[in-house]
Structure 1
Amino acid sequence: MTSTAPPRQKTWWRRPWIAPLMMVVAAFLAFSVPPYLTLDPAHSRLEPPPGNDLYYPLLVAHVLCGTVAMATACFQVWPAFRARHRTGHRITGRVYVYAGALPAGVLGLYIGWHTTAGPSVLVANLVGSALWVVTTATGLWMARRRRYDEHRRWMSRSFALAMSIALSRVINVPAMIVLTPQVDTAFGGNEVLMRNTATSIGVWLSPLLLLLLTDWILERRKAGARRAVPPRGAVAGVPVATG
């Protein structure tokens, strides 16, 4: 009987997506967050609804909690950090859940309900925020029950939803480029309607694409893990007889 060595953990530079992911998150946060640190509603990127004095403080809280979520999420999906720093993984995981995703998702329900960007964006924001809360809470519940494989799957979906805000901003650019020439035709000269439509494309499409990509990756890994498991009755180093 021969023994097999445990698989070696890949070093960080063999995960080519880690560094670009962190750079994208840092760039997005550096661009999006500073206007809200002034606590001046005039600098808000989202138009507060008239007469709602609660909207802007809750929007700032949502942005800050979302910042915590996006920053800590990068460490949650980093395999080397998860494998070598178990305590750090648990700490950043708790920060992600309790100071990031859950409060940001709950606040997102209020922000989404009071959006001035039209009904399509309203529904998209409510659906996205609700899904973020549900996937995060389910991932936490799975961890507490020590069902760690399912925990990783649900937290991967939570991560995808956390990052969808950044992708929506990217999608909005080509959406605006495509729709702008149609202002006088499809939108009857209403530029606000055109901008709201472009925004709705981003907020609907970004979580859908990232969730589909995440589940595709999860299924590929699951299939790969099944292929790596030796058939029942096999002994290490000895093939199973067939025929």
Structure 2
Amino acid sequence: MVYVSRMRVFLVWFLCLGVALASWRFMALGVEASMDFVAYHAVERRWAFFAHITLAPLALILMPFQFWKGLRTRRPDVHRWIGRVYGVSILLAGIGSLLMAFGTTSSPVAAWGFGLLAVAWLGSTGYGIWLARQGRIAEHQRWMIRSAGLTFAAVTLRVYLPFLFMTLGEEAGYTLVAWLCWVPNLVVTEWFLRRSNVPSPAAA
């Protein structure tokens, strides 16, 4: 069981770092060459687009560090500062993604999927940080786990998208992945919170 647990931890770190670094490929290749499917956002809503593609990967990189128990225990000041950067990154990237969802040329179903993801991402992260500032640490931990599940949508989107494009085509695949990348993540997160030893507010 210890081996399986360590493999899960390694896989999360590997996927978060790998997807984040791959997302920054536009810095070397340019937007047109690396993200042609959504490159129109760079022209129509430039600030929102670059806020999202620059800061969402940063949040993805920082997310595993916030669940590193040794860091939280030994260096709580570092944990707090990483949390602040994580929160600001999600604030700007989330607003950017919400504006992009409103302006997407894809179907309204896709727009609603990505728009609700942005609202849930901003809401869960903001509420989790507010709880920490109130000293309600048990509730803070639970809400930040929900935030992490939504941050991990960047990974699940890239896992599903090639298969959906091959089987359903770009338009239908993009519409489905707008929901599939995050709704199952939330379901799994809630299941985890119910069965794990993460303290509930009542227990705390």
**1:172/1:201 contact within 8 Å kept:** no
Letter in 1 for 2:100: I
Q: CA separation of 1:206/1:40 partners in 2, compared to 1, >3 Å: closer, same or farther?
A: closer
> Which residue of the other structure, out of 154, 175, 198, is the alignment partner of 2:173?
198
Q: Distance in 1 between matches of 2:132 and 2:199?
A: 20
TM-score by length of 1: 0.73
> Which residue of the other structure, out of 163, 173, 179, is the alignment partner of 2:152?
163
**1:139/1:154 contact within 8 Å kept:** yes
What's the % identity of the aligned pairs? 25
Query: Offset at 1:155?
Result: 0.8
Letter in 2 for 1:24: L
Query: Offset at 1:39?
Result: 8.4
**1:142/1:150 contact within 8 Å kept:** yes
* Greater fraction helix: 2
Where does residue 89 of structure 1 map in the other structure?
A: 79
1:42-61 to 2 correspondences below 5 Å: 42-45=32-35, 46-49=37-40, 53-61=43-51
Letter in 2 for 1:21: V
Q: CA separation of 1:18/1:44 partners in 2, compared to 1, >3 Å: closer, same or farther?
A: same
Where does residue 185 of structure 2 map in the other structure?
A: 210
> Which residue of the other structure, out of 61, 67, 89, is the alignment partner of 1:77?
67
Q: Distance in 2 between matches of 1:21 and 1:138?
A: 24
> Which residue of the other structure, out of 107, 130, 141, is the alignment partner of 1:141?
130
1:1-243 to 2 correspondences below 5 Å: 15-35=6-26, 37-38=27-28, 40-45=30-35, 46-49=37-40, 53-98=43-88, 100-179=89-168, 194-222=169-197
- For residues 88-130 of structure 1, the C-alpha deviation after alignment (integer angstroms, 9 at most, x for no partner) is 11111111001x1111111111111111222221111110001
**1:169/1:202 contact within 8 Å kept:** no
- For residues 192-220 of structure 1, the C-alpha deviation after alignment (integer angstroms, 9 at most, x for no partner) is xx312111222201211111111111111
Structure 2: state its 5+ residue gaps.
Answer: none
**1:113/1:122 contact within 8 Å kept:** yes
Query: Offset at 1:17?
Result: 2.5
- For residues 44-71 of structure 1, the C-alpha deviation after alignment (integer angstroms, 9 at most, x for no partner) is 5143448x83423431221111021111
**1:49/1:116 contact within 8 Å kept:** no
Query: Offset at 1:38?
Result: 4.7
Aligned length: 199
Q: Distance in 1 between matches of 2:107 and 2:28?
A: 27
TM-score by length of 2: 0.86
- For residues 128-153 of structure 1, the C-alpha deviation after alignment (integer angstroms, 9 at most, x for no partner) is 00110100111011111111111011
Q: Distance in 2 between matches of 1:44 and 1:178?
A: 22
